[in-house]
């Protein structure tokens, strides 16, 4: 339960729910209906044709439900939504999630008008609306969801998503789950006739479950308030915005009926606002958010690279320089301590390239690297072929668990962030993630597949730390 | 068997092999030893301490083997390699793969001198050497490998790899296997005392198994010949080069003892040579290579985008414009044919955004899009949540198989490339890849996770097509 009150609470902790267009056939809305009816949330199905849905009495109209309803979820076709909204007003709901598509984004005058009418009716009645053309919300804490969430798999974490696209509501969560990335809340806002990114940034800024916000935006309708809100944010916000190009901008218009606006203005605003960062794609967005959500902020720009592969280490160096950061220059003391433990064929240039000696040399090396005052963040590149891990069997798992226990302990002790970048097959990733999750520590070490994302995360987090220091002065 | 003769053949089709440092304990070289001794390749283990390795008589020295040896694989420590090379010369081998590390890349004078001496001895004896500091070669056709290849899983394809890094020899092949990407030959060249990227480009240019070459390069030692060879290439070459930055360049030096050289020169040479392309990371390299290896070349710049998600479609538009390509403008006829099959809430702007109507509308839409003369390539963005696919069970597999059968048929019929970009969990990817592999067609449709890579592939392939047309004139 969040510790602040807001009109928007109804979307995350509804006391009672009506599903208008509840379905027991395999179509859009089926999974949400079944999940909510079987859940702890008091849910009533509304279906004009059926008397029963999944064993629950169905009502012809929301007005027929004999109890108070706080939240309505509308899953019916676009032609019928306006009437359903009017019924919701009569019933006295506090919030509506309209998932149906087929409004302003079609470009058809008739549907644009209906969308405007819905907005007007809700405004007059003081009802908050999310949508249309979305899949609504998921709260990973109390497990309320209108978005077909698979809570058996999904991971609770500290990243919130606000997105003008349904794919962020379940498909990318599904991707992220595979990668060990967890969320606090996700909200897809579609054509946003009412609740928009500004309302939600304000809400999530106060949400104790959320540490970092990922925002996928096609366009804002309230430019000045958007800028003002960004400046007020106390939490880091990662923004992915499309519609940069002329054709992309047209595509945005036919997606959520938004005008993408001048991309250069968005870009300038984001660059000028400390703590707000622009990302280039969804993978980058979630990988970086995961570092923000799980790691301490780096105090400086110096990154130490511990690698099992010299070529990947060299690629990391290129990226470090490109991002304006530094490869940490280890102290003579640290280097001599590492050299005393490694075989003569191991190469310690700028990066610490342990190669196949990793199994013996990782532990003594990582300890002295964390301790080194010239090191602000650690990038650990894991590139062990599959066969030695498979042949070592449970010994390999034990070794990997020990390795992560050590990293977690050192991360906390020295308050320095560490990211593990893993190369290889899905099997190798699963092996590492399982090993990382075996320890009891609450600390989580991100394991990702892109060196670039780890380094950009360190850069943004260093900038965020500078902003915090400035705000404190 | 390749249909041309070369000194380098010995590395891919050795008639007899000696493994110097053959091992039956779990250390570097164990898997290669076991694989080759159990394989159809006539292999003799050499081990100074043991009489038997994996049930095969072991010899103290390569000179003791009573038969002719064509290829020696050296797996022993750096201190002993020079003597082993001298023994190989006496034995009269044709080729040597030195996998041991610990030479010029250490920066230690002693090891730099040994490396030079090895090069000199081999040159005088007319023996070709791959390495040191590498894991040698894999031929996916006859399944010869010195690189711990898992042939039960690895896929035979038409991409060749030349790489100055061991990770390309197995770890990235392992990654690619998961993604349905197959290879013809991989060669890791390490410090390249003899065989280098120029020799191998020449060899692979004639190799009928290879359609496209991926080259990971830290530096060339023969600049002029390298440029000359690039200009001679008849097959597309994708080059990933690091050491762009000062610190990256130092890291390269301590990896393979190479001097990275002025990156701007490499960049200019690649840009000025038609058919040679620079890529930014390993994932981009392999995803693009897979499109080259499996798809016809596009005749123009117009890409049609069929998507299940409007936001992903809009992001694709931004990338198309960024790469200087065009979103295909479908003919009025095509649009009216699509509109006659889709529900009124489906949005046909520039992209064809089928949304959740995909299951019904994909087939009629894809047919008329392939047929449209304004379309040169097709990007198909698959973003269906996991639950409907899982609930549909075998029906979903049948639908997906049918979808890929259709794409494959149309790709061949109209000679236009198509790439499927899939978003979601590993489960969703596996679902799609299985469906795509069910059909009997020899055509392969790449399924990847990055829109950007698909679009860059179309761009490079269009440029390659222009080069071919020019060469024909």
DSSP A296: P
* Cβ neighbours around B175 below 10 Å, total: 21
Domain A7-130 has CATH 3.40.50.720: yes
Return left, alpha or beta for B355; rule: phi > 0 is left, psi -120 to 50 is alpha, else beta: left
> A423 to chain B: nearest residue by CA?
B171
> B392 to chain A: nearest residue by CA?
A26
Would you call A256 and B310 a contact, using CB atoms and an 8 Å cutoff? yes
| Contact of A235 with A30, CB cutoff 8 Å | no
| Contact of A184 with A140, CB cutoff 8 Å | yes
Residue B15 corresponds to which tokens in the numbers above? Answer: 């008639």
| Contact of B201 with B233, CB cutoff 8 Å | yes
Question: Of the candidates A215, A179, A143, which has an alpha carbon nearest to the alpha carbon of residue A290?
Answer: A179
How far, in Å, CA of B53 to CA of B37, rounded? 9
How far, in Å, CA of A386 to CA of A367, rounded? 26
Nearest beta carbon to residue B385 from set A102, A170, A428: A170
Give one DSSP letter per residue of A340-391, joined into a string.
TTS-TT-EESSSEE-GGGHHHHHHHHHHHHHH-TT-SEEEEEE---HHHHHH
| Contact of A88 with A36, CB cutoff 8 Å | no
Residue B354 corresponds to which tokens in the numbers above? Answer: 């089928």
How far, in Å, CA of A50 to CA of A239, rounded? 43
How far, in Å, CA of B299 to CA of A63, rounded? 60
Report the DSSP beta bridge partners of residue A17: A43, A71
| Contact of A10 with A128, CB cutoff 8 Å | yes
Would you call A344 and B78 a contact, using CB atoms and an 8 Å cutoff? yes
Contacts of B283 in chain A (CB under 8 A): 449-450
Question: Of the candidates B91, B132, B130, which has an alpha carbon nearest to the alpha carbon of residue B111?
Answer: B132
Would you call B320 and A245 a contact, using CB atoms and an 8 Å cutoff? yes
Domain B137-292 has CATH 3.40.50.261: yes
Q: Does A396 touch chain B (CB under 8 A)?
A: no
Q: Does A424 touch chain B (CB under 8 A)?
A: yes
Q: Is the pLDDT of residue A160 over 90?
A: yes
Range of weakest confidence among A22-26, A125-129, B346-350: B346-350
pLDDT tens digits, residue range B246-300? Answer: 777 777 777 777 666 788 889 999 999 999 999 999 999 999 999 999 999 999 9
* Cβ neighbours around A393 below 10 Å, total: 9
Strand ranges, E, within A152-230: 156-163, 183-188, 212-217
> B346 to chain A: nearest residue by CA?
A102
pLDDT: which is higher, B349 or B291: B291
| Contact of B67 with B6, CB cutoff 8 Å | no
pLDDT: which is higher, A444 or A86: A86
Q: Does A255 touch chain B (CB under 8 A)?
A: yes
Listed by start position, the domains of chain A span 7-130, 137-292, 296-472
Half-sphere exposure of B356 (CA within 13 A, CB side): 22
A174 CB burial (10 A radius; 0-12, 13-18, 19+): buried
Nearest beta carbon to residue A349 from set B148, B254, B386: B254
Range of weakest confidence among A54-63, A154-163, B4-13, B81-90: B4-13
Report the DSSP beta bridge partners of residue B52: B57
Residue B417 C-alpha, separation from nearest chain A C-alpha, in angstroms:
22
Write down the architecture of domain A296-472 according to CATH.
Answer: 3-Layer(aba) Sandwich (3.40)
| Contact of B21 with B47, CB cutoff 8 Å | yes
Would you state the pLDDT for residue A345? 65
Residue B472 C-alpha, separation from nearest chain A C-alpha, in angstroms:
35
Q: Mapped to the 3 state alphabet, what secondary structure does chain B carry? A: CCCCCCHHHHHCCCCCEEEECCCCCCCCCHHHHHHHHHCCCCEEEECCCCCEECCEECECCHHHCCCCCCEEEECCCHHHHHHHHHHHHHHCCCEEEECCCCCHHHCCHHHHHHHHHHHHHHHHHCCEEECCCCCCEEECCCCEECCCCCCCCCCEEEEEEEECCHHHCCHHHHHHHHCCCCEEEEEECCCCCCCCHHHHHHHHHHCCCCCEEEEEECCCCCHHHHHHHHHHCCCCEEEEECCCCHHHHHHHHHHHCCCCCCHHHHHHHHHHCCCEEECCCHHHHHHHHHHHHHCCCCCCCEEEEEECCHHHHHHHHHHHHHCCCEECCCCHHHHHHHHCCCCCCCEECCCEECHHHHHHHHHHHHHHHHHCCCCCEEEEEECCCHHHHHHHCHHHHHHHHHHHHHHHHHHHHHCCCEEEEECCCHHHHHHHHHHHHHCCCCCCCCEECCHHHHHHHHHHHHHHHHHHHHHHC
Reported as a pLDDT band with limits 50, 70 and 90, residue A4 is: low
Q: Is the pLDDT of residue A74 over 60?
A: yes
Same fold, B7-130 and B296-472: yes
Rounded mean pLDDT, A56-64: 97
Would you call A385 and B250 a contact, using CB atoms and an 8 Å cutoff? no
Range of weakest confidence among A373-382, B121-130, B259-268, B320-329: B259-268
Would you call B315 and A423 a contact, using CB atoms and an 8 Å cutoff? no
A369 CB burial (10 A radius; 0-12, 13-18, 19+): buried
Question: Of the candidates B183, B87, B167, which has an alpha carbon nearest to the alpha carbon of residue B135?
Answer: B167
Give CA angle at B401 (B396, B402), nearest 5°.
Answer: 100
Q: Is the pLDDT of residue B349 over 70?
A: no
Q: Is the pLDDT of residue B405 over 50?
A: yes
CB pairs under 8 A between A and B: 266
How far, in Å, CA of A454 to CA of B423, rounded? 21
Rounded mean pLDDT, A419-439: 92
Reported as a pLDDT band with limits 50, 70 and 90, residue B1 is: very low
Mean pLDDT computed over every residue of chain A: 92
Return left, alpha or beta for B261; rule: phi > 0 is left, psi -120 to 50 is alpha, else beta: left
Would you call A245 and B148 a contact, using CB atoms and an 8 Å cutoff? no
Pairing of strands B377-382, B418-422: parallel
Residue A51: alpha-carbon gap to chain centroid: 39
Q: Is the pLDDT of residue A3 over 60?
A: no
Q: Does B216 touch chain A (CB under 8 A)?
A: yes
Residue A226 corresponds to which tokens in the numbers above? Answer: 């958007």
Q: Is the pLDDT of residue A253 over 90?
A: no
Residue A169 corresponds to which tokens in the numbers above? Answer: 């509501």
Would you call A242 and B315 a contact, using CB atoms and an 8 Å cutoff? yes
Please report, for residues A71, A190, A220, A260, the alpha-carbon distance to residue A130 in angstroms, rounded to integers and kept in the order given: 11, 8, 15, 20
Q: Does B258 touch chain A (CB under 8 A)?
A: no
Give the best residue of B78, B311, B383 to mutate against chain A (max A CB count within 10 A): B311
Backbone angles phi, psi at A368, to 5 degrees: -75, -25
pLDDT tens digits, residue range B354-396? Answer: 877 777 888 889 999 999 999 999 999 999 888 888 888 999 9
Would you state the pLDDT for residue B124? 96
Residue A171 C-alpha, separation from nearest chain B C-alpha, in angstroms:
5
Q: Is the pLDDT of residue A243 over 60?
A: yes
pLDDT tens digits, residue range B200-212? Answer: 999 999 999 999 9
pLDDT tens digits, residue range B152-179? Answer: 999 999 999 999 988 888 899 999 999 9
Question: Of the candidates A238, A380, A351, A375, which has an alpha carbon nearest to the alpha carbon of residue A298?
Answer: A375
Strand ranges, E, within A101-190: 128-130, 137-139, 144-145, 156-163, 183-188
Would you call A309 and B77 a contact, using CB atoms and an 8 Å cutoff? no
Longest dimension (CA), chain B: 81
How far, in Å, CA of A137 to CA of A50, rounded? 26
Quickly tell me which residue has 């790449």 as its tokens. B446
How far, in Å, CA of A454 to CA of A323, rounded? 11
Q: Is the pLDDT of residue A360 over 70?
A: yes
């Amino acid at each position: 339960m969040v510790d602040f009150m807001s009109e928007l609470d109804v979307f995350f902790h509804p006391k009672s729910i009506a599903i208008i267009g509840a379905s027991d056939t395999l179509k859009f809305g089926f999974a949400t209906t079944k999940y909510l009816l079987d859940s702890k949330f008091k849910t009533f199905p509304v279906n004009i044709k059926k008397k029963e849905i999944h064993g629950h009495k169905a009502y012809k109209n929301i007005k027929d439900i004999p109890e108070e309803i706080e939240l309505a979820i509308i899953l019916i076709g676009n032609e019928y939504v306006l009437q359903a909204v009017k019924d919701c007003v009569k019933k006295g709901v506090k919030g509506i999630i309209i998932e149906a598509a087929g409004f302003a984004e079609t470009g058809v005058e008739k549907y644009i008008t209906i969308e405007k009418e819905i907005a007007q009716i809700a405004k007059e009645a003081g009802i908050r609306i999310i949508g249309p053309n979305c899949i609504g919300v998921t709260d990973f804490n109390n497990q309320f969801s209108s978005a077909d969430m698979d809570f058996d798999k999904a991971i609770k974490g500290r990243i919130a998503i606000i997105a003008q696209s349904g794919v962020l509501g379940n498909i990318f969560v599904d991707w992220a789950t595979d990668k060990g990335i967890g969320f606090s809340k996700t909200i897809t806002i579609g054509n946003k006739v009412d609740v928009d990114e500004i309302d939600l940034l304000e809400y999530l800024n106060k949400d104790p479950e959320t540490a970092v916000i990922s925002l996928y935006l096609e366009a804002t309708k309230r430019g000045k308030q958007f800028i003002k809100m960004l400046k007020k944010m106390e939490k880091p916000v990662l923004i992915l915005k499309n519609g940069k190009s002329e054709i992309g901008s047209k595509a945005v218009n036919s997606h959520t009926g938004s005008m993408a606006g001048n991309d250069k203005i968005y870009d300038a605003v984001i660059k000028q606002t400390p703590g707000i960062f622009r990302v280039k794609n969804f993978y980058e967005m979630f990988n970086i958010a995961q570092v923000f959500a799980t790691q301490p902020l780096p105090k400086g720009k110096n990154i130490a690279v511990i690698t099992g592969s010299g070529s990947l280490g060299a690629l990391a160096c290129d990226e470090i320089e490109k991002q304006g950061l530094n490869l940490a220059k280890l102290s003579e003391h640290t280097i001599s301590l590492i050299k005393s433990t490694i075989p003569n064929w191991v190469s310690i240039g700028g990066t610490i390239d342990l190669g196949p000696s990793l199994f013996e040399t990782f532990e003594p090396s990582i300890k002295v690297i964390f301790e080194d005052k010239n090191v602000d963040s650690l990038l650990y590149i894991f590139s062990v072929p599959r066969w030695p891990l498979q042949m070592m069997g449970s010994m390999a798992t034990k070794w990997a668990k020990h390795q992560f226990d050590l990293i977690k302990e050192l991360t906390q002790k020295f308050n320095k962030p560490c990211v593990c970048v893993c190369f290889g097959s899905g099997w190798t990733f699963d092996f590492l993630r399982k090993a990382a999750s075996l320890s009891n520590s609450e600390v989580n070490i991100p394991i990702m597949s892109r060196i670039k994302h780890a380094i950009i995360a360190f850069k943004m987090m260093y900038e965020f730390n500078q902003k915090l220091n400035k705000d404190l002065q």
